[in-house]
């Protein structure tokens, strides 16, 4: 992906501890004394592990601030639906507010133990197929009229046509032609498929192995719901190509039953092409995601 944007605030241990002490100790009495350490820092948020079972999630730039608010409002009900499937979701346990010199909302969430899905070989991920399908079947229900609106995720494929065309052109200019003709054909097939014509469904909005947590072949959780929105479930179903090999994909698609029609799967495959292109064009400084782009495009073409 492109170089990670610079953080707009300094998030260090004293700041996180100050927020916890001044706001969270009534709800979480041990928050002031539990060990605290930086666990991850993405584009939009930093995650600090708090003890063994908790984490603190804080936006690191203004554009990421609404994502935490969306999670605080909507993840509790989403987690209640997905939880019975056995897949954990980091629904906020405490919703923090601006304070102590920090300008945005922040959350204390459960820590979901496991390894990033990207670290699990595709051949082992077939074990994820049924639980992930069950989780998406529980998630993909009609979204309310006031659902978060995302300008990119879950909308019509046609709205991304210009951006996708630019990425095809960029890859051709790099003399990276292998598989592009077939990928382009599959992208066009998605554009030609009937668009989603039903009310918007809840979707995760950024579903790929980097946002899955696992213990090898056992799927443990789905994380990073900051892009949660309402729209076409085909966007999430692209995970069939982003996460799985052919055996895992067959098992995943079979586990969804007849919930999604042929046109939805055709659009999902096109979304997988679009996401693979993003990763291939913009991951020069992130080898894990560059590899994911290569693998996903190969899986799409293999089908």
If you compute the radius of gyration of the chain from its CA atoms, what whole number of angstroms results? Answer: 19
CATH code, domain carrying 37: 3.30.200.20
Contact between 36 and 48 (Cβ < 8 Å): yes
Based on the fold, state whether residues 121 and 98 are members of the same structural domain: no
Q: Are residues 218 and 161 in the same domain?
A: yes
> How do the residues of the chain divide into helix, strand and coil, expressed in percent and rounded to 5?
50, 15, 35
How confident is the model over 221-227, as a mean pLDDT? 95
pLDDT for the residue numbered 43: 81
Do both 87 and 135 map to the same domain? no
The tens digit of pLDDT for each residue in 157-172 reads 999 999 999 999 999 8
Grade residue 3 by pLDDT with cuts at 50, 70 and 90.
Answer: low
Same domain, 36 and 58: yes
β-strand pairing of 94-96 with 115-116: unpaired
Band the pLDDT of 1: cuts 50, 70, 90: very low
Same domain, 158 and 257: yes
Classify 3 as helix, strand or coil.
coil
Question: How many structural domains compose the chain?
Answer: 2
The overall average pLDDT reported for the chain is: 94
In whole angstroms, what is the distance from residue 34 CA to residue 37 CA?
A: 10
Last residue of a domain, one of 110, 130, 145: 110
- What domain range includes position 65? 13-110
Q: Spell out the residues 6+ positions from residue 249 whose beta carbon is closer than 8 angstroms to its own.
A: 129, 240, 241, 299, 303
Confidence band for 5, pLDDT divided at 50, 70 and 90: confident
Last residue of a domain, one of 75, 110, 145: 110
């Amino acid at each position: 992906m492109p170089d990670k944007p610079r953080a707009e605030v300094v998030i260090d241990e004293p700041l996180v501890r100050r927020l916890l002490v001044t706001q969270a100790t009534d709800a979480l009495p041990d928050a002031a004394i539990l060990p605290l350490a930086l666990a991850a820092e993405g584009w939009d948020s930093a995650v600090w592990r708090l003890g063994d079972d908790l984490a603190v999630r804080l936006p690191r730039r203004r554009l990421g601030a609404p994502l935490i608010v969306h999670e605080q409002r909507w993840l509790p009900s989403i987690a209640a639906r997905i939880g019975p499937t056995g897949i954990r979701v980091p629904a906020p346990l405490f919703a923090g507010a601006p304070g102590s010199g920090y300008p945005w909302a922040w959350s204390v969430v459960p820590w979901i133990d496991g390894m990033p899905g990207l670290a699990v070989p595709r051949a082992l991920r077939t074990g994820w197929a049924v639980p992930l399908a069950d989780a998406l079947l529980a998630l993909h229900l009609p979204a309310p009229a006031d659902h978060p609106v995302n300008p990119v995720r879950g909308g019509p494929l046609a709205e991304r046509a210009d951006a996708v065309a630019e990425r095809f052109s960029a890859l051709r200019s790099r003399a990276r032609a292998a598989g592009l003709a077939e990928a382009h054909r599959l992208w066009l097939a998605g554009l030609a498929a009937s668009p989603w014509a039903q009310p918007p469904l809840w979707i995760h909005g950024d579903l790929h192995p980097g946002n899955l947590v696992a213990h090898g072949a056992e799927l443990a959780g789905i994380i990073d719901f900051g892009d949660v929105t309402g729209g076409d479930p085909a966007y999430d179903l692209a995970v069939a190509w982003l996460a799985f090999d052919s055996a895992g994909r067959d098992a995943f698609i079979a586990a969804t039953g007849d919930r999604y029609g042929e046109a939805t799967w055709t659009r999902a495959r096109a979304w997988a092409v679009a996401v693979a292109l993003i990763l291939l064009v913009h991951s020069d400084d992130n080898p894990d995601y560059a590899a994911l782009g290569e693998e996903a495009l190969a899986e799409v073409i293999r089908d």
